[in-house]
Amino acid sequence: MSDYASLNAAQLKELQTELLEKYNTYKQEGLKLDMSRGKPSPEQLNLSNGMLDVLTSNGTLKAADGTDVRNYGGLDGLPEAKDFFSQVLEVKPEEIIIGGNSSLNLMHDTIARAMLLGVYGSNAPWGKLPAVKFLCPSPGYDRHFSICELFGIEMIVVDMKADGPDMDHIEKLVKEDEAIKGIWCVPKYSNPDGITYSDEVVERFAKMETKADDFRIFWDDAYTVHHLTDEPDRLKNILAACKAAGNADRVFMFTSTSKISFAGSGIGVFASSVNNVNFIKKQLAMQTIGSDKINQLRHVRFFKNIENLKLHMKKQAEIIKPKFDTVLSKLESELGGKNIASWFKPNGGYFISLNTLDGCAKAVVQMAKDAGVTLTGAGATYPYGNDPKDRNIRIAPTYPSLEELEKAMEILCLCVQLVSIEKKLSEQAVR
């Protein structure tokens, strides 16, 4: 495991020949391995199959308050669903709106509504302003960025640090620019780095001075119960922090069961101050008569309570953890000590974030693809698909089997080495 910096051109070329041979062998296998999206594996989905049996034609189809869950009504969700998810997010039931099958949908619609109608306290719909800007801690979640791009919201990259986004930079920007209306955050086991924001970061978010009166933090707490260890990260409660700081209406929280129960048939959840919730409910009443209450009841009856949910997530972790370990041990064994890549070891979530040498990510992803390994497109973790250092690669280990993952990682590591050698050789040639 030599540091590549210590190798001369001849040594690099020799290594290149050796690795290329391995790469070409894999290429000839005609593999088809997909590590591109954070999809649960069939084994994970199996854990929730019992949910299909909890509501039947013979059972009671009434909610705790007597609501016939088959009929219309219930704009913000069943009482027991609001109660359950208020415990997940550590907020009050009246601070919850239960949505449809996806929190992405809730986030999209929240922005669409802000553009068309403004948020609670806005002087004008955001769409009527000359410019709307969002801060995007990056690397981040591509689907957040796509929503901004769709609606013409200008995205400003903020770097991620070890305990969350660069707060010095954020505080400076939001204090000066009234056009900055929001920020995207995945505060726990972040996508893709797996970082959980420190208490200090949460507090600074709650307290910071913003030029825009109607600035909002889009707090996508997607991985709030998705631990991989027995000592899970703790995330400070942002809504409580915002209230304490006198900025109760600053945060929109989102979560979902997409990666808890069924990815396509889960429950999306919105949480915020009662002011925000009431403001949005008035608009929401024009969009829907309420989300699928049968699915809400199914979820509540299946998970029963938070303790049981935690047990369910332990079973998920038992399936996922070996996959994360495989990725990490391959990275360590193949790339460790070579000074050509760095990565995070997350305590939870769905991703591992790999940084190559600058200018190598696109070439690595392409090379892996040529050998049958599909990764998230290089650049996808940055606004406009543009990673300025072209170095970040998001690895999604959950969907492939352990065997597939092992092979895919071998190929990925080969590609990182080969592209790095190419870079080193061209740099040496220039000197």
What's phi and psi for 151, nearest 5 deg? -100, 10
For residues 355 and 398, which CB has a smaller minimum distance to a copy of itself in the complex?
A: 398
Q: Which of 76, 80, 95, 109 binds a copy of itself (CB under 8 A)?
A: 109
* Rounded least distance, CB 73 to a copy of itself, Å: 7
Q: Does residue number 129 form part of the binding site for a copy of itself (CB under 8 A)?
A: no
Least separation, in Å, of the C-beta of 56 and a copy of itself? Answer: 5
Q: Report in angstroms how near the CB of residue 75 gets to a copy of itself at its nearest.
A: 11
Contact residue for a copy of itself among 101, 138, 196, 272 (CB under 8 A): 101
Binding part of the chain for a copy of itself, among 145-153, 219-227, 249-257, 378-386 by CB under 8 A, reads 145-153
Question: Which DSSP string do the residues of 329-394 spell out, in sequence order?
Answer: HHHHHHHTTSSSEEE---SBSS-EEEEESTT-HHHHHHHHHHTTEEEPPTTTTSGGG--TTS-EEE
Pairing of strands 180-185, 133-138: parallel
Q: Is 47 among the residues that bind a copy of itself (CB under 8 A)? A: no
- Answer for the pair 365, 21: CB distance below 8 angstroms, yes or no: no
Q: Does 140 bind a copy of itself (CB under 8 A)?
A: no
Which candidate, 310, 259, 254, places its Cα nearest to that of 91? 254
| Mask for 255-274, x = binds a copy of itself (CB under 8 A) | ---x---xxxx---------
Query: 46 or 87, CB closer to a copy of itself?
Result: 46
Stretch that binds a copy of itself, among 273-281, 285-293, 382-390, 410-418 (CB under 8 A): 285-293
With binding defined as CB under 8 A, does residue 287 bind a copy of itself?
yes
Q: In the set 88, 89, 97, 115, which binds a copy of itself (CB under 8 A)? A: 115
Closest by alpha carbon to 191, among 350, 79, 56?
Answer: 350
Q: Does residue 147 bind a copy of itself (CB under 8 A)?
A: yes
Assess 374 for contact with a copy of itself (CB under 8 A).
no
Return the closest-CA partner of residue 381 out of 367, 402, 365, 368.
365
Q: Under the criterion CB under 8 A, does residue 131 sit at the interface with a copy of itself? A: no
Is there binding between residue 155 and a copy of itself (CB under 8 A)?
Answer: no
Q: With binding defined as CB under 8 A, does residue 50 bind a copy of itself?
A: yes
Give the separation between CA 77 and CA 426, rounded to whole angstroms: 60
394 binds a copy of itself (CB under 8 A): no
Answer for the pair 208, 251: CB distance below 8 angstroms, yes or no: no
Helices and strands: H and E segment counts in the chain = 13, 13
3-state helix, strand, coil in the chain (%, to 5): 45, 15, 40
Minimum gap (Å) between residue 16 Cβ and a copy of itself: 38
SS3 state of residue 286: coil
Nearest to 237 by CA among 89, 97, 95: 89
Work out the end-to-end distance of the chain between its first and last CA atoms, rounded to an integer number of angstroms. 25
Closest by Cα among 383, 310, 378 to 141: 383
By CB under 8 A, name the binding residues for a copy of itself.
37, 39-40, 42, 45, 48-50, 52-53, 55-57, 61, 68-74, 100-102, 104-105, 108-109, 112-113, 115-117, 127, 143, 146-147, 149-151, 258, 262-265, 283, 285-295
